[in-house]
Amino acid sequence: MNAMNFIYAFLMLVFVFIFQTSLTGFNRKVTARLQKRYGARWYQQFLDIFKAMRKDSTTHGWVFDFGVIMALGGIMATVIFIPVAGFRAFPGTDNVFVISYLLAVGMLGMAMSAAGSGNPWASIGVGRALTNMLAYDIPLMIVIFTMIFAFDSASVGELAKMQQGMGILGWNAFRMPLGGIVAVIALMGMLGKKPFDSFIAPAEIASGPMVEYGGKHLGFMFILHEFMTFIEVSLIINLFFGGGATIWEYMLKYAVLYTFTNIVSGVMPRFKIDQAVKYFYRVPLAMAIIQGIVVIFTGLGVTIWF
């Protein structure tokens, strides 16, 4: 580890911000077309973020301020450990557990900051967000632990590399079809796409955790959201869709998967939070357990396609 690693990490953050923000702008246009609208400009998301950073901002005490910085710091630190198309800013540190624990720093920072605003809608939103996390995390973690057991590695980069070179059938989404479906459903929950967006419901709880954010705080939250989206989609791409041999392949897969979740989200109504939990604990959890039993006791999925 030397100075170059840190420069790579910084460049990666810049790349991720530009790429994911542009893609969000593109997806706003996709959503608009689904609704037969023309939609915003593709760079609208940049304008929104810079506009928010330009405004004045109201504080609600140091917990509120500190939570924003802690969340952004934690999430940016997590981005650095995500392997992108075989590239790692700090080689050998891309463990699943490292990523999931660092991600928790960001999530808790967000929860702390929102609760620190003292607004009851924010507390309801945070409560729903954590409930939602508990719902999607258990099926997803069962599938990921199964994969770690089967391939004997917890490195996200290694797991991605093992799927390459065999064409599309080498992807874990096809080796373990049930696990792949669980992963995509859990991704919808992670990204807060409909039908799992009850924690940010703007018309019911006034955008939930975001209710007291304005100006620069809101700008930080938008940037944080772009980074978080990148982490979540990247995990699924690396673990289930074979990562990418080149950066272009990776970006293409990423854009397709992210746009897919947006298109599904565009035609869905919204679950209540208890319905979302019941759904996750009924369908995806059953599928994850069946997948785990199949892989662990028969070895099918590790060896079937070749």
Partner 1 sequence: MVLDKKDTRNIWEKIGDYFSANSIWMKWYCTGCGAIEMPPTMTSRFDMERLGMGPMATPRQADVLLITGYLSTKTLRRVIYSYEQMNSPRYIVGFGSCTINGGIYYDSYATINQLDKYLPVDLYIAGCMPRPEAIMNGFAALIEMIKKGEANGWRHYQENYEWYKKNQLESLGEVIINDEFHE
Cα–Cα distances (Å) from 246 to 97, 128, 132, 136, in that order, read: 25, 38, 34, 30
48 binds partner 1 (CB under 8 A): yes
- C-alpha span between 70 and 78 (Å, rounded): 12
If the CB atoms of residues 10 and 43 are measured against partner 1, the closer one turns out to be: 43
Site for partner 1 in 214-243 (CB under 8 A): 214-215, 218
Q: How far is the CB of 120 from partner 1 (least distance, A)?
A: 13
For the chain, the residue count is 306
40 binds partner 1 (CB under 8 A): yes
Site for partner 1 in 53-72 (CB under 8 A): 54-58
Residues contacting residue 272 through CB under 8 Å, at least 6 positions apart = 198
Q: How far is the CB of 119 from partner 1 (least distance, A)?
A: 9
213 binds partner 1 (CB under 8 A): yes
If the CB atoms of residues 223 and 239 are measured against partner 1, the closer one turns out to be: 223
Cα 62 versus chain centre, distance: 28
If the CB atoms of residues 28 and 88 are measured against partner 1, the closer one turns out to be: 28
Q: How far is the CB of 207 from partner 1 (least distance, A)?
A: 4
**Residue (of 189, 195, 193, 5) closest to 88 by Cα position:** 5
51 binds partner 1 (CB under 8 A): yes
36 binds partner 1 (CB under 8 A): yes
Spell out, one character per residue from 173 to 212, where the chain touches partner 1: x when CB under 8 A holds, - when not.
-----------------------------xx--xx--xxx
120 binds partner 1 (CB under 8 A): no
- C-alpha span between 183 and 235 (Å, rounded): 10
If the CB atoms of residues 170 and 214 are measured against partner 1, the closer one turns out to be: 214
Sequence-distant contacts of 31-37: CB under 8 A, at least 24 apart: 31/262, 31/265, 31/266, 34/263, 34/266, 34/267, 35/266
- C-alpha span between 264 and 235 (Å, rounded): 20
Among 3, 4, 35, 97, binds partner 1 (CB under 8 A): 35
Cα–Cα distances (Å) from 189 to 41, 212, 277, 280, in that order, read: 27, 23, 10, 9
Q: How far is the CB of 84 from partner 1 (least distance, A)?
A: 29
From the list 45-53, 172-180, 187-195, 257-265, the region that binds partner 1 by CB under 8 A is 45-53
Residues contacting residue 277 through CB under 8 Å, at least 6 positions apart = 131, 132, 134, 135
Among 47, 104, 286, 293, binds partner 1 (CB under 8 A): 47
Cα 137 versus chain centre, distance: 12
From the list 35-43, 65-73, 103-111, 239-247, the region that binds partner 1 by CB under 8 A is 35-43
* Amino acid in the structure at residue 70: M
Q: How far is the CB of 203 from partner 1 (least distance, A)?
A: 8
For partner 1, the binding residues (CB under 8 A) are 28, 32, 35-41, 44, 47-48, 50-51, 54-58, 202-203, 206-207, 210-215, 218
